[in-house]
Structures are given as C-alpha cells and as structure tokens.
Amino acid sequence: MAPVKVFGPAKSTAVARVLVCLEEVGAEYEQVGVHIPAGEQKSPAHLARNPFGQVPAFQDGDLILFDLLKESNLSQSAMVDVWLEVESQTFDTAMSAITFQCLTIPTFMGGIADDKIVEENLGKLKKALEVYEARSCRFRYLAGDFISLADLSHFPMAHYLLATPHASVLDAYPHVKSWINDLMKRPAVKRVRELMEA
C-alpha cells in the first residue's frame, strides 16, 4: 500500500494533529507542502482534495486510525469523543486567540498583540484548565488511563502555548502541566514538533 499523503504545512495545528496520529500508529506517510500565503489551498488541484480549500487534505488508501479512537470499547470511545469536543469548544478556541495574538501577528504580520484579547482568552483558558486539572488528578490521560486521539489533539496548541510569554499559566495546574510534559516527550510528538519548527 502506498503511504498516505497529507497535504498542508506542519505548522498548521490541523495538519500537526493528523501527523502525530500517523506517527503514533507507525503509519507510513508523505507530507506534501501547501503554500498557504500564495493561496495554493484554493488551487484546482487542492480543491479536488478538499473542496473547502483548507488543510489538511488527504490522498489515502485503506488506512484506519481507529486504535486512537478506542472504537472497540463504547465507554472509552465516548470519553474520547467528549474530550475532543471539550478541546474544540474550550481549549482550542482560547488557545487560537492567544497564539494568533502572541505568535502570528508579531511573527508573520509585523504587528503588536492586542493585550485585551490575550487577557480575555487567558481567562477562558484558565477556566478550562481548572476542569482539566480536576480530570488529570483522577486519570493519566483525558479519556482514562490510555493515550488517545483526545490527548494527541491537544498537543499542537499546547506546543504553541509553550512558545508564548504565557506558558507560565500552566504553573497553577501541576497535573495539567505534567500531562502536557508527558505528551511532549512522546516520540511521535517529538517528530511532529520538529516538522512544525522546520
């Protein structure tokens, strides 16, 4: 079987989530760059892969990543789904605003972060981290005592949080900080972080 092709830059959190899952299950893949600033994601070739003109896009055979979803166990699978939803609705929304202000605007746009937006979203992040801390006191990983897509999905934004001046927000949540540190040590995460930083 030919390796799956993942189209998009590793710096994209959406692409990094896919890459870390592929790394975690030991799947062969090829990352194919898409030059976002040039609008390559809107090209006819890319739109054929992703009609929304977004990344990632895939060219795949019969690869299945169900091991990370815990599809074989209904209660475990439900917990994975719950924490993916929590990540999407709380963690990711606050983190996206913070990283956009602290990293994207100064680095790629030559602007200055809006401190009001950062503070507002740090407040939202802290509320979410309180819930994560309570969960992390009881379980090693979000969905239970097993690594899953729910944990891996958090790593790209956590990676970028650690690169902002606000990484110290984690100091008030020692179990969350430990969980993130453990995630960052995983071989699959290390490989994708290298791609993100390249």
pLDDT value at residue 48: 78
pLDDT digits (tens, 9 = 90+) for 96-149: 999 999 999 999 899 999 999 999 999 999 999 999 999 999 999 999 989 999
In whole angstroms, give the CA distance from residue 15 to residue 7: 8
Is the confidence at residue 64, as pLDDT, over 50?
A: no
Is the confidence at residue 66, as pLDDT, over 60?
A: no
Across residues 44-63, what is the average pLDDT? 76
pLDDT value at residue 139: 94
Neighbours of 38 (CB within 10 A): 9
Query: What are the domain boundaries of the chain?
Result: 4-59, 74-193
**According to the CATH classification, is domain 74-193 in 3.50.50.60?**
no
pLDDT value at residue 152: 94
pLDDT value at residue 105: 95
With beta carbons less than 8 A apart as the criterion, state whether 183 and 154 touch: yes
Does this model's pTM top 0.85? My answer is no
The backbone torsions φ and ψ at residue 5, rounded to the nearest 5 degrees and listed phi first, read -105, 130
Superfamily of domain 4-59: Glutaredoxin (3.40.30.10)
Neighbours of 93 (CB within 10 A): 16
pLDDT band at 1 (very low <50, low <70, confident <90, very high): low
